[in-house]
Amino acid sequence: MPESATTHPDVLEKLVSLCKRRGFIFQSSEIYGGTGSVWDYGPLGVELKKNLKDRWWRSMVRARDDIEGLDAAILMHPRVWEASGHVSGFVDPLVDCRHCKKRFRADDPRIKGEPGTPEAQCPSCGMKGTLSAPRLFNLMFKTFMGPVEDTASIVYLRPETAQGIYVNFLNVQQATRQKVPFGIAQIGKAFRNEITPGNFIFRTREFEQMEMQFFVEPGTDAHWFEYWKEQRMQWHRSLGLDPARLAFHQHTKEELAHYARAAFDIQFDFGGTLGFQEIEGVHNRGDYDLSRHQEFSGKKLEYFDQPNNRRYLPVVIETSVGADRTTLALLVNAYREEEVPGEAEGRTVLGFHPALAPIKAGIFPLVKKDGMPEMATRLANDLRPHFPVFYDESGAIGRRYRRQDEIGTPFGITVDGQSVADGTVTVRDRDTLKQERVSADRLREYLRERIEP
């Protein structure tokens, strides 16, 4: 629920179109009419999302000595989801129309009257008294492992990555000899058979999470909860997300899961009707998860605190980011249309942080002669092993700049007559539009300094 009203326009529709046209995001199986609320990342989208995921991995795993990485499988033992509470609790109430056979969420605002009563009216066929009373519908995708399709062979596509971390807690702790407090981090796909997904890649049936579970000594959890709350907000700001569009939302008693001691969402203002929405959750989960898995598996999951010679179940502080939602936040945050001083035509810009931009530099010969294409091609080939660059020699130079602005390329490098003579090139900054002459020999270092901070 948004804490405050948005003042930003709705740019989702424009983004969907730009993302398809330029190769960020395509509708999945589009030539077959699409797959419901599933999306494919195209050439630019896969780089944008990979840069985001790599940045999270570097900051959470590689740059710290107290967090270990993990990549647990999507298919887990079905008992995991009994222990986690998903089999019984991960449900939505649905109603059926006996007449037209359609299904609806029980809280669908188009339903008139109380479902299950003779007054209730079906929003699809309009019949009265045909809607069933609400029944619980589990949101986990299920499948069958092995040759026989029966209850004993049901497995689920994980609806969250976190359980893969909990069941491996002792394996990781013993292999790495980590001492509490320490964390386990993982990036991976999860699946939810949502009844009302939507808003582009905001809520999808197949999505990617970046989760870190931090295991702490009971009694120290309030401290670590505050620590991670601040760290994670700081991280989102470091992506270049506008600080004014980021907010904390504290879960009320009604929103809080029964086992949770505290929970804050980090929200981003997506503008328009979507407004402020969760992109990350920071949760104090108590020892619920480890104690449930201990109970259901019959295996002790206690941590042995050697110096104090005692065993205990650690408390878990969870930080859980939606990789697709954050990618959408990056797109929404970066999108702007603006006039260009001295030019009749305006431009569309994706003002990505240079470290996240899918392509770091466009490389353009001013004209297609006088050795300029050769020098520009050589430059592109020299830079390509180090950064993704795009060589473009077709059309007017202003048009080529605008094509790169629209996909968020931070630097435009032009090879002109002077370049061929003295070995310098002009570098145009996407945001300030200022041009600077730089020696071609220094270009790689020049770009590295501006891209990697």
Touching its own copies, residues 138-157 (CB under 8 A): 141-148, 155, 157
- Does position 20 bind its own copies by CB under 8 A? yes
Give the integer Cα–Cα distance in Å for 336 and 319: 30
From candidates 43, 126, 346, 398, binder to its own copies by CB under 8 A: 43
- Does position 100 bind its own copies by CB under 8 A? no
For the stretch 259-265, contacts whose Cβ atoms lie closer than 8 Å and that sit 24 or more positions apart, written own/partner, are: 259/285, 259/286, 259/288, 260/284, 260/285, 260/286, 260/288, 261/221, 261/225, 261/285, 261/286, 262/222, 262/225, 264/229
> Stretches 32-40, 271-279, 329-337, 425-433: which one binds its own copies (CB under 8 A)?
32-40
Using DSSP's 3-state secondary structure scheme, residue 339 falls into coil
> Which residue do the tokens 């993990």 mark?
70
- Does position 72 bind its own copies by CB under 8 A? yes
Nearest to its own copies of 225, 391 (CB atom): 391
Give the integer Cα–Cα distance in Å for 142 and 163: 17
From candidates 261, 388, 393, 420, binder to its own copies by CB under 8 A: 388
Q: Closest approach of Cβ 233 to its own copies, in Å?
A: 21
Tokens matching residue 293: 């898995």
Nearest to its own copies of 9, 34 (CB atom): 34
Helical packing angle, 443-451 and 372-383, nearest 10°: 50
- Does position 99 bind its own copies by CB under 8 A? no
Give the integer Cα–Cα distance in Å for 126 and 9: 35
Going from the C-alpha of 202 to that of each of 5, 206, 272, 274, the distances in angstroms are: 19, 11, 14, 10
> Stretches 171-179, 239-247, 337-345, 415-423: which one binds its own copies (CB under 8 A)?
171-179
Q: Closest approach of Cβ 74 to its own copies, in Å?
A: 6
- 331 contacts 323 by C-beta, under 8 angstroms: no
- Does position 396 bind its own copies by CB under 8 A? no
Nearest to its own copies of 46, 433 (CB atom): 46
From candidates 100, 172, 260, 340, binder to its own copies by CB under 8 A: 172
**DSSP secondary structure letter of residue 121:** B
- Does position 42 bind its own copies by CB under 8 A? yes
Give the integer Cα–Cα distance in Å for 127 and 102: 12
Q: Label residue 247 exposed, middle or buried (CB < 10 Å: 0-12, 13-18, 19+).
A: middle
Q: Closest approach of Cβ 244 to its own copies, in Å?
A: 29
Nearest to its own copies of 173, 319 (CB atom): 173
- Does position 361 bind its own copies by CB under 8 A? no
Nearest to its own copies of 110, 437 (CB atom): 110
- Reference 170, options 289, 257, 307; nearest CA is 289
> Which residue do the tokens 């449930």 mark?
292
Nearest to its own copies of 159, 275 (CB atom): 159
Which residues neighbour 100 within 8 Å (Cβ) at sequence distance 6 or greater?
122, 124, 125, 127, 130
From candidates 39, 90, 264, 303, binder to its own copies by CB under 8 A: 39
CA atoms within 13 A on the CB side of 81: 24
Tokens matching residue 312: 């205990």
> Which residue do the tokens 């145009």 mark?
428
Nearest to its own copies of 100, 340 (CB atom): 100
Nearest to its own copies of 141, 227 (CB atom): 141
Total chain residues near its own copies (CB under 8 A): 81
Nearest to its own copies of 263, 359 (CB atom): 359
> Which residue do the tokens 């980590």 mark?
178
- Does position 314 bind its own copies by CB under 8 A? no
> Stretches 42-50, 345-353, 367-375, 422-430: which one binds its own copies (CB under 8 A)?
42-50
Contact flags string 73-92 toward its own copies, x per CB under 8 A: xxxxx-xx------------
Tokens matching residue 348: 């569309």
Give the integer Cα–Cα distance in Å for 141 and 206: 10
Which residues neighbour 230 within 8 Å (Cβ) at sequence distance 6 or greater?
none
From candidates 10, 55, 69, 100, binder to its own copies by CB under 8 A: 69
E strand or H helix that includes residue 318: strand 315-322
- Does position 132 bind its own copies by CB under 8 A? no
From candidates 6, 35, 132, 231, binder to its own copies by CB under 8 A: 35
> Stretches 3-11, 113-121, 189-197, 260-268: which one binds its own copies (CB under 8 A)?
189-197
> Stretches 116-124, 165-173, 266-274, 422-430: which one binds its own copies (CB under 8 A)?
165-173
- Which residues within the stretch 109-128 sit at the binding site for its own copies (CB under 8 A)? none
From candidates 205, 236, 249, 400, binder to its own copies by CB under 8 A: 205
Give the integer Cα–Cα distance in Å for 299 and 306: 20
Q: Closest approach of Cβ 348 to its own copies, in Å?
A: 15
